[in-house]
Every structure is written in structure tokens, then in C-alpha cells.
């Protein structure tokens, strides 16, 4: 432990009681990585605030002493976005988990950063409302992390990402300044500061409060599952659905390996002899949904599906979605280790992307399970490897990098919702030129000249 760190810990102990400041490796171990478990780094200390005031005091202390800090919720980031900084401070926000205000008339919820995503919908449900963004980890991920990474989910095709549902925020900037942006409505004057902050991966500070837009719970859901003999056929079915003029709430595709994983993990009853599954869901006003669903069934029927299953009640719908939602975690039952990417390609080039991923999988001799938000071209290839084999992780990372490069070549993006974090730092220059990256660095420096907020993430410029 350096003298500077020892002095800093002494100062932090004046802010927190002993049970809410962790400094030993054993007690900090759980904070050493996020869901990208291949990366691990112990911080200098972990503090566990229970109030916004304690968060503010901690950030101001870090700013005065030049100590880097990382804000962390449930640690579900898949890009190393909440990886600690050596001799820095992790600010664990899980105890700031209160819904401060829920106004059914205005259809808004004001929440602290540690509120779990799904808890918002559960609190709003008695009023006939819900919160639309639904990441696969929605039962555990927190709103603070969703804001930092602009999380999406299965239903982002129709409803958009987190940024489309954030109306306002109370922000704690890296120098300890507290300020407000946005408000209680979608009507605002001036630059879109919500948009500036959402998706900034913690580089601009912490959202102490976030005002979320709530939506009426759809009167009716209709869900259909189609089984196909090839990924290409399933991809063509997506094109056919969109071409028909329908706008589903969600369209998801899973390949053979993902189907197997989901069946092992969730026993969803998926057809195991299918090469690909397409899940399509319509939602909204009952009469419109029923009319549209009749058209949807016909589109799926004529798209070459070898088997069609329609969810006839809430339990059957839940079972279909349980398999999809559990796919990521279930892959862990098929392989000792895996890493997941989330590149994006134009919807019309999904077939090319999947063929390319299959080719790269063969070249590298590694299995890849594909799960993706088909409606917006957001791929989630899960690369299976064994970390106990020398060079196993490196081979998987090389394959992941080539998949990301493929997405960019096809006119897409290196990330759709998981963020850059640490994992994709080396890929930023594949998508952005020197002038664009320099502009991002200048914006970062304007907000955080000392670069103490989530140092080392998102921007590939050394200490940024």
C-alpha cells in the first residue's frame, strides 16, 4: 500500500463507519470484477454509502485528493465498465435503492441509482404502468448502470433504449458539483444534456436521481415462436415481418447452440431439432394487436417456419421469454467460460454477419452461440472457451475482435448496449477517426480534467 493510499483511507474512514468501508482483499474480492469475469482488479477501498450526501462527500474527497473512483451498482456490465482502478475507490450504490416519487398522473418515476430495473415496473404496475427498457439482467441490474450504458433489451425495437425514457437527472459531477438536467417532461429547452450524459459510461459522474418515463401496460400481448432449418431463413423472416408493415415490440433470434443452452438452463420446451428460433411479440390495444397478429401468423407461416407455436396465455408467453432471458447465463452450463460481444449490423445485412461469424468460428475452432435482437441488428455472439487451456482466453478474444471488425465492415457498430468499457477500447479506432476521438477526449477533459471518474474506460487515450 502506498503512502498516498494509506493517507486516503484515513480520510475515508472519517466519512464511513468500519462496516461500510472495505479495505482487505477478502472483503473487496466481490468488487474486483463485473460480469466480464476475465478481467479482475482489486481497488484501494470500497465504500458503501447509504445516502446521496455520503456519495457527494466521497466524490468531493476523491477530487480533492486526486483519487480515481468507480461508481458501481450490481456489477452486471459485460464490458468491464465497472472494473475498479488500482488504488482507487469503488463507490457501491446498491443501498441507494429508493423510488423517491412515483406519479401515475404524470407517468414518471424518480429513482435513486441503486434501484433495480424490474423494481420500477413492479412499483408502477398497480397504476397500470411499467418501465419499458428490459435488459436480460433486468431482475438484478440497476438504473444507475442502465443510464451509464444506455441499456436496451428485447423490446428496444419498438420502445428504444434507456435514453428514450430518461426525462431528467440530478447529476454529481467528478469535481463534486451537483446539478440538474432535463425535467419531468419530454419537452425541454436548449441542448440535450440528458443525451450527453446517458451512455457516457460513468466518465461524466454519477446520476444521483433519475426521472424515468413510464408507459401504460399494453392491453394485450401476442407472442409467436417460429422454428427454422437455418439462421438465414430466420433472418429472412425478420425482413418479411418488417416489410409487411408490422412493428413488433420485440423480435429475437437464437441459434442451435443458444437453444440448447436455454433448454438446459430454463427448460422452456424449445424444439431442439431447430437450427434457429424466431420470437416475435406484438403488444398494444387489444383490437389492433389481434388484427396485426393474424397478419403476423400468416407472415411467419409463409416464411418457411418448420414449426410454429403461439402463446395462448400469460404462462405460455412467460415460458417462451424465460428461455430467451436465461440464454446468457445458461451458456455457462455448456462451457467453463465464455465471452459475449454485442456488435450491431444493419438489419438487411444480418445474414452476411451470421455467415461471417460461422466462418470465423470454424477458423478459430471455437463454438459460438448466437442470440440477438433481430429487429435492430444487435448481435450477441457468445464465444465458448476453456480458460484452463493455455491461450484459451486469448484465442476467444481474438475471435471476438474479428467479429467486431466484421460488424464495422458491414456498416455497423462495435457495441449496441453493453458499452465500450475496457473490453472494446482497442476497437474504438476501427469505428472513429483521430479527429473524432480527440473531440471525445476534449469533452471528457472539459467535465473531468483530472480524469478521476471511471478512469481507463471507453476512451483509448491512456489515463482517460
Residue range(s) occupied by CATH 3.30.43.10 in the chain:
3-92
Other beta carbons less than 10 A from residue 389's beta carbon: 11
Cα separation, 155 vs 281, in Å, equals: 9
Which residues of 129-270 form beta strands (DSSP E)? 129-130, 166-172, 178-182, 206-213, 215-216, 220-228, 250-255
Start-end of CATH 3.30.70.2190 domains in the chain: 220-329
Question: Cα separation of 186 and 110, whole Å?
Answer: 14
CB contact at 8 A, 130 and 124: yes
Q: Match 443452452 to its residue by C-alpha cell.
A: 261
Q: What is the pLDDT of residue 83?
A: 96
Task: Give the pLDDT of the chain (464 residues) as one tens digit per residue.
Answer: 555 566 677 889 999 999 999 999 999 999 999 998 889 999 999 999 999 999 999 999 999 999 999 999 999 999 999 999 999 999 999 999 999 999 999 999 999 999 999 999 999 999 999 999 999 899 999 999 999 999 988 888 899 999 999 999 999 999 999 999 999 887 777 889 999 999 999 999 999 999 999 999 999 999 999 999 998 899 889 989 999 999 999 999 999 999 988 887 778 889 989 999 999 999 999 999 999 999 999 999 999 999 999 999 999 999 898 888 777 777 878 888 888 889 999 988 888 898 899 999 999 999 999 988 888 889 999 999 998 999 999 999 999 999 999 999 999 999 988 999 999 999 999 999 999 999 999 999 999 999 999 999 999 975 44
How many CB atoms sit inside 10 A of residue 130's CB?
18
Residue with cell 419498438: 158
Distance from C-alpha of 368 to C-alpha of 112, rounded to nearest angstrom: 37
* Per-residue confidence (pLDDT) for residue 232, from 0 to 100: 84
The per-residue pLDDT for 208 is 98
Instruction: Identify the CATH class of 335-426.
Output: alpha beta
CA dist 202 → 7, 206, 364 (Å): 25, 7, 34
Q: Cell triple for residue 315?
A: 404462462
Query: Residue 14 is placed in which grid cell?
Result: 472519517
Three-state SS sequence of 256-312: HHHHHHHHHHHCCCCCCCCCEEEEEEEEECHHHHHHHHHHHHHHHHHCCCCEEEECC
Q: Where in the chain is the domain with CATH 3.30.70.2740?
A: 335-426
What CATH class has 99-216?
Answer: alpha beta
Q: Which three cell numbers stand for residue 394?
A: 486469448
Q: Which class for 355: exposed (0-12), middle (13-18), buried (19 or more C-beta within 10 A)?
A: middle
In the CATH hierarchy, which top-level class contains the domain 3-92?
alpha beta
Domain covering 220-329: architecture? 2-Layer Sandwich (3.30)
Range(s) within the chain of domains with CATH label 3.30.465.10: 99-216
C-alpha cell at 37: 469475469
* For helices 3-12 and 52-65, angle between their N-to-C axes, nearest 10 degrees: 150
**CA contacts within 13 A on the Cβ side of 345:** 25
CB 297, CB 290: distance < 8 Å = no
Containing 398, the helix (H) or strand (E) segment is: helix 392-409
Q: What angle do CA 242, 247, 248 make, to 5 degrees?
A: 105
CA dist., res. 178 & res. 207, Å (int): 10
DSSP, collapsed to helix, strand or coil, labels residue 145 as helix
- Are the C-beta atoms of 447 and 203 separated by less than 8 Å? yes
Amino acid at each position: 500500500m502506498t503512502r498516498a493510499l494509506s493517507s486516503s483511507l484515513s480520510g475515508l474512514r472519517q466519512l464511513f463507519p468500519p462496516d461500510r468501508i472495505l479495505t482487505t482483499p477478502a472483503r473487496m474480492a466481490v468488487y474486483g470484477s463485473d460480469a466480464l469475469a476475465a478481467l479482475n482488479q482489486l481497488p484501494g477501498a470500497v465504500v458503501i454509502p447509504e445516502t446521496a450526501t455520503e456519495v457527494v462527500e466521497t466524490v468531493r474527497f476523491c477530487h480533492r485528493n486526486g483519487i480515481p473512483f468507480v461508481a458501481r451498482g450490481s456489477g452486471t456490465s459485460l464490458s468491464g465498465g465497472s472494473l475498479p482502478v488500482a488504488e482507487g475507490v469503488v463507490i457501491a450504490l446498491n443501498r441507494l435503492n429508493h423510488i423517491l416519487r412515483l406519479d401515475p398522473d404524470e407517468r414518471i418515476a424518480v429513482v435513486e441509482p441503486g434501484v433495480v430495473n424490474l423494481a420500477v415496473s413492479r412499483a408502477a404496475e398497480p397504476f397500470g404502468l411499467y418501465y419499458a427498457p428490459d435488459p436480460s439482467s433486468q431482475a438484478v441490474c440497476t438504473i444507475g448502470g442502465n443510464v451509464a450504458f444506455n441499456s436496451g433489451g428485447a423490446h428496444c425495437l419498438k420502445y428504444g433504449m434507456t435514453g428514450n425514457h430518461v426525462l431528467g437527472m440530478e447529476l454529481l459531477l467528478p469535481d463534486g458539483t451537483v446539478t440538474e438536467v432535463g425535467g419531468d417532461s419530454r419537452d425541454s429547452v436548449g441542448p440535450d444534456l440528458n443525451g450527453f450524459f446517458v451512455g457516457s459510461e460513468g466518465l461524466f459522474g454519477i446520476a444521483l436521481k433519475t426521472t424515468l418515463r413510464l408507459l401504460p401496460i399494453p392491453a394485450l400481448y401476442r407472442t409467436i415462436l417460429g422454428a427454422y432449418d437455418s439462421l438465414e431463413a430466420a433472418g429472412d423472416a425478420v425482413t418479411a415481418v418488417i416489410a409487411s408493415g408490422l412493428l413488433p415490440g420485440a423480435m429475437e433470434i437464437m441459434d442451435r447452440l443458444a437453444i440448447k443452452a436455454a433448454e438446459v438452463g430454463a427448460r422452456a420446451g424449445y424444439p431442439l431439432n431447430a437450427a434457429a428460433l424466431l420470437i416475435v411479440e406484438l403488444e398494444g390495444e387489444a383490437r389492433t394487436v389481434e388484427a396485426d397478429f393474424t397478419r403476423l401468423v400468416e407472415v411467419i407461416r409463409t416464411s418457411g417456419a418448420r414449426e410454429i407455436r403461439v402463446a395462448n396465455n400469460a404462462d405460455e408467453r412467460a415460458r417462451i421469454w424465460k428461455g430467451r432471458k436465461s440464454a446468457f447465463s445458461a451458456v455457462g452450463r455448456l462451457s467453463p467460460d465464455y465471452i459475449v460481444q454485442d456488435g450491431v449490423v444493419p438489419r438487411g445485412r444480418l445474414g452476411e454477419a451470421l455467415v461471417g461469424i460461422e466462418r470465423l468460428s470454424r477458423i478459430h475452432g471455437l463454438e459460438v452461440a448466437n442470440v440477438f435482437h433481430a429487429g435492430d441488428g444487435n448481435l450477441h455472439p457468445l464465444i465458448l472457451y476453456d480458460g484452463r487451456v493455455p491461450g484459451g482466453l486469448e484465442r476467444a478474444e481474438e475471435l471476438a475482435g474479428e467479429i467486431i471488425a466484421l460488424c464495422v465492415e458491414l456498416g455497423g457498430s462495435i457495441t449496441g448496449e453493453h458499452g465500450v468499457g475496457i473490453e472494446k477500447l482497442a476497437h474504438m479506432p476501427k469505428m472513429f477517426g483521430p479527429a473524432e476521438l480527440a473531440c471525445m477526449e476534449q469533452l471528457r477533459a472539459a467535465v473531468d480534467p483530472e480524469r478521476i471518474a471511471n478512469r481507463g474506460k471507453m476512451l483509448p487515450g491512456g489515463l482517460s
